[in-house]
Amino acid sequence: MKAKKLNFSNLLFNTLVALTAALLFAITPALAIGASIVGGTLLSFSNNGSVLMAGLQKEIWTDILLEKFYPENSFISEARDMSSLVEFNKINLAEVGANPTVLIDNTSYPIAVTSRTDVPKELALKTLDTTSTVVRNVEAMELSYDKMSSVIYGHKQELLKTACKLAAWNWAPSSNATLTPVLPTTGKANALGKKSMSFMDVIALMVKFNDLDIPADGRILVLNPKHEADLIAEDLTMYRSAMVNGMLFGFKLYRTSATPVYNVSTGVKAAYAAVAAETDTHSSFAYHKDEVMKAMGTTEMFAKYADPDNKGDVINFQMRYCALPLRATAIAAIYSADATS
């Protein structure tokens, strides 16, 4: 059984609180710090803990969960982060109206005046809840590693997976349109009975972005692993060359298995978390990083410490989050077409 250890993090926190209280209430600093050390030490060795200690522990674990939540090597890190605009777990935006017209060699006056009508949009953040995990008292005392830290990491990873899947699904267009191209693959048949993604398909997507005057800097292509395998099979040397700098025909490359599902016949995106169907086919998607957003609202840890029924600590997390395109433009997808069509 492990011996109880003094929690120096809590001791430092209590000391800072004591100094603040001393300044606010004109208490002798030495007296305030002494009281905090005695009280903090008793709490550190207490088996039952207290509401104050529980609140502090929740804050520490939540900070650990949120630290570097978006990995630098993830496609989701490329989007605009609008978390600073969140109020009460909502974001208030406006869909921008039409831009002005440019006149060349105008001779007609007065110049026509128009007003721009912006449409207000309120975005409510989704609620992501993890299921509860218990760290039993016997495990916490007898295991040679910090199981609670490992459990928190597991909750973080599952929240990140869900955040990435929501982003991938929302940033891909619902169907083919002028400003949101959805293209079928055109390569030769593969083992899955689909037309492989080819380098020509990526070139076709590049042309679509060029025709729409989407800025060259900031184009992102997120490959489904099956499409990545298609490209490797087509030309390993070309793919290796692209991976040297992580760019392919002007697109910065990422990969994820969480890409959306499309109907193989119609090219229409399936609903998020829809029941799998025989007509489903995988996709890759593309976007300009300035045209998509992500935002995080409140993140809270819920815990029952020393739960008598479970003989341990029971924890879960709730995160408010959203990831959406800012407007219906500069987003695209390539889905695997049926090889028999």
Residue 132 maps to which CATH number? 3.90.1690
Q: What is the pLDDT of residues 46-101, one digit of tens each?
A: 455 455 455 557 777 787 787 878 888 899 999 999 999 999 999 887 767 778 88
Q: What is the pLDDT of residues 216-233, one digit of tens each?
A: 999 999 999 999 999 999
Predicted local confidence at residue 1, as pLDDT: 41
Report how many domains make up the chain. Answer: 1
In a domain, 341, yes or no: yes
In a domain, 185, yes or no: yes
Q: How far is CA 247 from the centre of its chain?
A: 22
Per the structure, the complete domain to which residue 284 belongs is given by 67-92+126-341
In a domain, 110, yes or no: no
In a domain, 323, yes or no: yes
Mean predicted confidence (pLDDT) in 146-161: 90
In a domain, 47, yes or no: no
In a domain, 85, yes or no: yes
pLDDT at 2 over 60: no
Q: What is the pLDDT of residues 257-297, one digit of tens each?
A: 999 999 999 999 999 989 999 999 999 999 999 999 999 99
Q: What is the pLDDT of residues 67-80, one digit of tens each?
A: 878 888 899 999 99
In a domain, 51, yes or no: no
